[in-house]
Amino acid sequence: MKTCNTSWWRRIAIGVMSVAMGIVIGGCGSSAPTNEGKLPVVASVYPVYDVAKQVGGDKIALTLLVPPGSEPHDWEPSSSDLMAIGKAKLFLYNGAGLEPTEKIVTKDVLRDAKAIELSKAAHVLPMPDESFEEERAKESASPAVEKSTDGHEHDHGGNDPHVWLDPTNVMLETDAVVKAFSEADPANAEYYKKNGEAYKEKLAKLDAQYQDWAQGVQQKNLVVTHEAFGYLTHRYGLHQLGIMGISPDAEPTPEKMARIVAFVKANGVKAIFSEELVNPKLAEAIAKEAGVTVYMLNPVEGLTKEQMDKGATYLSVMEENLATLKKAMP
Per domain, the residue ranges of the chain are 35-124+163-216, 130-159+218-299
pLDDT at 249: 65
Alpha carbon of residue 247 to chain centroid: 14
pLDDT at 244: 86
Cα Dmax for the chain: 108
pLDDT at 11: 47
> Side chain identity at 264, as an amino acid letter?
V
On the question of pLDDT at 32 being above 90, the answer is: no
Report the 10 Å Cβ neighbour count for 126. 18
On the question of pLDDT at 26 being above 90, the answer is: no
If we measure between CA atoms, which residue out of 138, 84, 168 comes closest to residue 255?
138
pLDDT at 134: 52
Decide if 294 contacts 272 (C-beta within 8 A). yes
Strand partners, 293: 271
Classify domain 130-159+218-299 at the CATH superfamily level. Answer: Nitrogenase molybdenum iron protein domain (3.40.50.1980)
Contacts of 185 (CB under 8 A, 6+ apart): 39, 59, 192
Rounded Cα gap, residues 101 and 120, in angstroms: 14
Q: Which CATH class is domain 35-124+163-216?
A: alpha beta
pLDDT at 93: 98
Contacts of 120 (CB under 8 A, 6+ apart): 95, 176
Contacts of 249 (CB under 8 A, 6+ apart): 73, 74
pLDDT at 278: 83
On the question of pLDDT at 216 being above 50, the answer is: yes
DSSP 8-state code for residue 200 = H
Kind of pairing, strands 271-274 and 239-242? unpaired
Mean pLDDT computed over 229-240: 97
Domain 35-124+163-216 and domain 130-159+218-299 have a common topology:
yes
Taken as a whole, the chain contains a residue count of 330
Q: Is 37 helix (H, G, I), strand (E, B) or coil?
A: coil
Comparing 186 with 251, which gets the higher pLDDT? 186
Q: Is 136 helix (H, G, I), strand (E, B) or coil?
A: helix
Q: Which residues of 274-299 are buried (b: 16+ CB within 10 A; e: fewer)?
A: bbebbebebbeebbeebebebbbbbb
Rounded Cα gap, residues 321 and 330, in angstroms: 13
Decide if 35 contacts 61 (C-beta within 8 A). yes
Rounded Cα gap, residues 128 and 250, in angstroms: 14
On the question of pLDDT at 21 being above 60, the answer is: no
DSSP 8-state code for residue 73 = G
Torsion (CA) 253, 259, 262, 263 in degrees, nearest 10: -120
Q: Percent of the chain beyond pLDDT 90?
A: 72
pLDDT at 214: 97
Decide if 59 contacts 68 (C-beta within 8 A). no
pLDDT at 252: 85
